Each structure stands twice: as C-alpha cells, then as structure tokens.
Amino acid sequence: IEKETQKLSSEPPPGVTAVPDKDNYRYFHINMSGPDGTPYEAGVYVLELFLPEGYPMEPPKVRFLTKIYHPNIDKLGRICLDVLKDKWSPALQIRTVLLSIQALLSAPEPSDPLDTGVADHFIQNRKEAEEVAKTWNSKYAK
C-alpha cells in the first residue's frame, strides 16, 4: 500500500489526484477530471476509495461522492465495473482502477447498468441523456 501510495503521488494518472487520508492510510480522497469529449468534460468529480483488510486479494471499494448522471453509477455513487468485482486481480493496482473508472466515463455501458432508469434513457435517446449528464456535470462537478 505504501509503494502504491508513493507512486500515485509521484506519477498520478492523467487528470486524477489520489491523496491518502491523514488519519487512515487505507482511505483515499480522489479528484477525477471528466474526460475530454464526453458530457463529463471540464467537471471535477470527488470519489472515495477504501482498501479493505483483504487488499490486494480483494478489490478496493470506490464510489462517487459527486452526483453524476451515468448508467453504470447509481444514486449512492456506487460503480458497476468488472475490475471492482469479478475481474479483480491482485496484480491490478489503485492506478488501474482509477484509469478504468475514467474509461467508464468515456464509454458508458447502458447494457450493463447499475441505474436502469439512466441506462434506459441512454439507450432510448442517447443525445438527450448526454444533455442531462452535461447539465448535472455543470451543476454538481466542481
């Protein structure tokens, strides 16, 4: 964990800052820039990441604290992402998880939703759903 933390501060993923909590080295405060060319562009999203006792044998727990309109992220900020569940491997690192979340922002997967209402909107009217995502982005993301 210490090595990963040092690497995150010396070589952060592009558009991401991950700072360990001063009172708990397993808890990270994350700021993630919305990817260019997406409805999330220019927004800065706040996430929390927690490394459970079983890490690296079990995946980190990550969730969005900033409201976001996305089919794979629910109202509580939980994220539907394979590397946080069944595709987790101890070879993966915090950095990989953060890059995967950024990729998910660039390419929503409405066919594998966590929020079915948002997913239906993305499937039925992608342009309108992306407009809602942009509105939420300007309203909630810093």
Among 73, 80, 98, 141, the one annotated catalytic: 80
Q: What is the dihedral of CA 83, 62, 34, 118, to 10 degrees?
A: 80
Q: Among this protein's residues, is 9 annotated catalytic?
A: no
Where are any strands of DSSP class E within 92-138?
none
Cα separation values, 22 from 25, 27, 92, 117, Å = 7, 9, 24, 38
Handedness of CA 109, 115, 121, 126 (dihedral sign): negative
Catalytically active residues, by annotation: 80
